[in-house]
Structures are given as C-alpha cells and as structure tokens.
Amino acid sequence: MACKFTTLSLLLLSFSLAGSQLLRSDPDPGSTDCTGRWVHIRKLPSRFNLDLLANCSDYPVYDNFCPYLTNHGLGQKTHNRSHSWYRTDPFMLELLFHRRILEYPCLTSNPSGADAIYLPYFAGIDALRFLYGVDVNSSAEHGLQLLEFLQHDSPHIWGRNGGHDHFLVMARPAWDFSQPLSNDPPIWGTSFLELPEFFNVTALTLESRAWPWQEHAIPYPTSFHPHNLALLESWFDRVRRSQRTTLMVFAGGGGVSSAPNIRHSIRAECQNSTTRSNPSFKACEIVDCSNGVCEHDPIRYMKPMLQSRFCLQPPGETPSRRSTFDGILAGCIPVFFEEQSAKSQFGWHLPEEQYGEFSVFIPKEEVVLKGLRILDVLMAIPRADVRRMREKVIEMMPRIMYRRHGSSLGLRSKKDAFDLAVEGSIHRIKSRLTT
Ligand SMILES: *[C@@H]1O[C@H](CO)[C@@H](O)[C@H](O)[C@H]1NC(C)=O
Ligand SMILES: *[C@@H]1O[C@H](CO)[C@@H](O)[C@H](O)[C@H]1NC(C)=O
Ligand SMILES: *[C@@H]1O[C@H](CO)[C@@H](O)[C@H](O)[C@H]1NC(C)=O
Ligand SMILES: *[C@@H]1O[C@H](CO)[C@@H](O)[C@H](O)[C@H]1NC(C)=O
Ligand SMILES: *[C@@H]1O[C@H](CO)[C@@H](O)[C@H](O)[C@H]1NC(C)=O
C-alpha cells in the first residue's frame, strides 16, 4: 500500500505542476474564441483537494477508494490492453473534472477578467468524514473551512459577485449535502447546500433535488474514456453492429423483497417471461448488481446492454442512476419510470424536448398499481421506431461521456459531458448576473 501511495502522490504532483504551467501560459488565441468563456481556477490550499486523497483508505464502512484515484480519477484500466475502458468510480468525478479543466482552452490567471471561477475543492471526498467518519455528528460544519478561506484570502474575488460567479463539482447526489441545519444530530448528509453563504454558488452534482436552486446535475461518469476519434468511431460501429437478441435488460440491485415497488414489478415480470421458450430471442434479462458487484466491473453489464434493445432505468435508492449513462453508451434505449430519473435532471446534456426521440416513459404507478406490463408496451413499438430511437441514443453518446484528458484534437472538437458542464455553468452564471 505504501508503495502504491507514493506512485499516486507522484502522479498527483506531476499533475498539479502541469496545471500551474498551463495556467501561466496563455491559451492559444488563434484557434478559440474565448469571449464570454474565460474561467479562472481559484488557487486553494491542498487541504481542500490533494491532501484529502491521502485518507483514501480511512473509510472502511464506505470502501477503500485508493484504487479509483489512479489516472486522475478514471481508475485503473479494465485490462492491460484496453484503450478506452477503466474501472471508474463515479464519485471520483471531482478529480477527473479537475484534470480536464487544466486543459480548458480559455483559462485566465486573472480572476477579475474571468466569466466564471472554478473552485477545485473535492467536496464529495471531503464529505466522507461527515458521512462515514469521525465528523458524523458535525455535518453542519461541512463547507465552513472553505468559506473561511474564501472570505479571508483575497476576499474581493469571492465578494465581487456575491458568490454568483463561482462553481464547483460535488460528485454525489445533492441529497447527500442538504441536511437541514436544524437536524441535530443529523439524519443523513452534510449541510453544505443549506448554508446561506453558498446559496449563490453553482454546484454540479450527480443528481439534483426536486426544486434545486444552486445545484445542477451532470452525468455520472461511465467507464468509457476514449482519447481519440478513431476509438470513439470504432465503438459506434460495435454498438451499431451488435446483435440485439434481448428485448429488455435491468442491471441493478433491489426489488427482491415482496413490497410493491417498480423494481419488484420488473423482477416479477422478468421471472415470468423467462419461462417462455424461444431460444433466439429473450424477452428480459436481469443483471444482478446487488452489493455493488458491478460498480467497477463494466464488462458485467455492458455486454448484456449491447445485446438488448431497451434498458430499464427504475429509480433506486435515489431517482437517478449511473446505469442510465452506461445504457446510452451501449446504444440501449432507456426506459424511465419517473421524470426525476433523468428528464428533470440532466437538461444540459440530454435536452428535455428530445426525450420522446430517444427514450420511453412508463409511469411507475401504471405498472405497480395497475398491472401494466412493461413487456407489452415495448413489444408494441414498431421496429422502425426502435431503430430511429437507437440512432438518436447513439447521437447523444458523446454528450454524456467524459473523454480522457490529453485527447486528440479531433476528439476535442466534439463536446463531451465536461465541455457541456462548463458551458452550462457559464451560461447559468451569466443569466444570474444579468437578472
Ligand atoms: C486524514 O485522517 C487523519 C486521521 O484520521 C486526520 O487527522 C486528517 O486530518 C485527515 N486528513 C484530511 C485531509 O482529512
Ligand atoms: C498487466 O500489467 C501489469 C503491470 O504492468 C503486469 O504485472 C501484469 O502481468 C499484466 N497482465 C497481463 C495479463 O498481461
Ligand atoms: C454521534 O452521536 C450519536 C448520538 O448522539 C452517538 O451515539 C455517536 O456515538 C456519535 N458518533 C460520533 C462518531 O461521535
Ligand atoms: C447572493 O446574491 C444576492 C444578490 O443576487 C446578494 O444579495 C446576496 O448577498 C448574495 N449572498 C451572499 C451570501 O453573498
Ligand atoms: C406471471 O404469470 C402468472 C401466471 O401466468 C400471472 O398470473 C401473473 O399475473 C404474471 N405476473 C406478471 C408480473 O406478469
């Protein structure tokens, strides 16, 4: 472990040095129009980011997340010869976002000339000590140290726009950061998003609340991080060529108790359908992902998703799920059971008005309470429509994936999840400041 950790520190050190060099040199002015898109990376003491990684093995209740830190948060490659596939932990988004913003073309070292100010704070990783660690009873304090710093170190940067021009990534559902300050002891979560001092800041979370004010959801990272156009295009080919011999797949856990809920209905329907015999076409498949067995093992679910026409995306512990993005990557048409699962969440990446073109919506009440069969709904969709929807899913794919840092120029010309997140943040900041 000690040896592993040294390699990691070296890796991170070289990455922060590379970053400061990038910051000093001016971006290439010829190729990019940076008007209205300048970002300043606020310099924070390392206790707000890199130091936090040193405790990656301190949270046994959670998991030892040291292996997921490698490759700037992409994790280890799935196998040695893999070019694009990693064992990515979605909660490491703060790291990979940080790495990616170092190569954003419109960085400025001058905060007063910036349209947006990025806080390289690993908020979700810092939250672990409140969620699972020694500070579990002081979760109202999450964010206070950062606030202290912002208010006292060059306070004009923070004060200039009342915090409106600042943004940061908080790579967990907003639910984990919205514990009311009045709950003592806390029930679950820290109170970062409840602190009035941070109300004006744009927080990029993996899931937003039903009526969010300061947060906006961005895609969960998947395991696919290509670094050039050829790799992306060969994946497109694989997805298009794939024989889809299963109608629908559900990759997830839960729904095993008999309490009526949508996951239970899916399991029941699937068990019924598998008793039918048609060897060349399967109606339904369940990939058992209970106890987190799929989390860092994309092969388990990508293959079944490539072989299915539809991917069922019921709400889990929270409404949204990473699997929505894995499915899109596989060209598998998502089936949603509530709007909170995606439509009301990821508008920057999956435009709301296009849901009808790339996804199916079946209200969960119809299934759970009224006995509507998912199978019947999906079987009734004409083949031509299925093909059209799949093409639309494939068209969405670059928008929801996070390409690897240091990608080729060709791949950089396609906007990925990171690009759209920065663009969305800047746009949102601008609209806040002009109203
Ligand atoms: C890491 O854990 C140690 C021991 O629990 C603690 O003293 C230290 O403050 C932690 N470091 C960070 C950056 O959280
Ligand atoms: C993969 O690479 C590691 C380290 O480079 C090596 O130890 C291991 O034997 C390789 N595995 C295979 C299957 O080639
Ligand atoms: C937190 O508070 C609860 C109830 O007051 C107590 O049982 C528990 O030991 C405390 N945990 C820590 C880590 O202090
Ligand atoms: C948030 O912005 C509003 C103006 O939109 C300002 O009045 C308020 O003071 C700001 N809050 C903080 C904590 O700076
Ligand atoms: C499963 O099959 C049984 C017998 O055919 C039927 O009564 C039941 O409604 C079916 N359940 C579901 C969820 O389709």
Q: Which ligand is nearest to the CA of 122?
A: 1
Q: Output the residue whose Cα is nearest ligand 1's atom 10.
A: 55
Residue range 386-429, pLDDT digits in tens: 999 999 999 999 999 999 999 999 999 999 999 999 999 999 99
State the chain's mean pLDDT as an integer: 91
pTM of the model: 0.91
Does the bond joining 304 to the residue before it have cis omega, within 30 degrees of 0? no
Please state at what angle helix 383-400 crosses helix 417-434, rounded to 10 degrees.
70
- 102 C-beta neighbours (distance < 10 Å), count: 19
**How long, in residues, is the chain?**
435
pLDDT average, residue stretch 207-225: 95
Where along the chain do the CATH 3.40.50 domains lie?
A: 229-400
DSSP assigned state of 221 = P
- 219 C-beta neighbours (distance < 10 Å), count: 28
Q: Could you report how far apart the first and last alpha carbons of the chain are, in Å?
A: 52
H/E stretch holding 240 reads helix 229-241
185 lines ligand 3 (CB under 6 A): yes
Q: Are 391 and 399 in contact (CB under 8 A)?
A: no
Residue range 324-376, pLDDT digits in tens: 999 999 999 999 999 999 999 999 999 999 999 999 999 999 999 999 999 99
CATH class of 229-400: alpha beta
Q: For residue 59, what pLDDT is reported? A: 82
Pairing relation of β-strands 202-207 and 215-217? parallel
Q: What percent of the chain has pLDDT over 70?
A: 91
Residue range 32-87, pLDDT digits in tens: 799 999 999 999 999 999 999 999 998 877 779 999 999 999 999 999 999 999 99
Pairing relation of β-strands 333-336 and 116-118? unpaired
Residue to probe by mutation, ligand 3, list 128, 137, 138, most atoms within 8 Å of CB: 137
Residue 401 phi/psi, 5-degree rounding, is: -95, 155
Please give the Cα distance from 158 to 149 (Å, whole number): 10
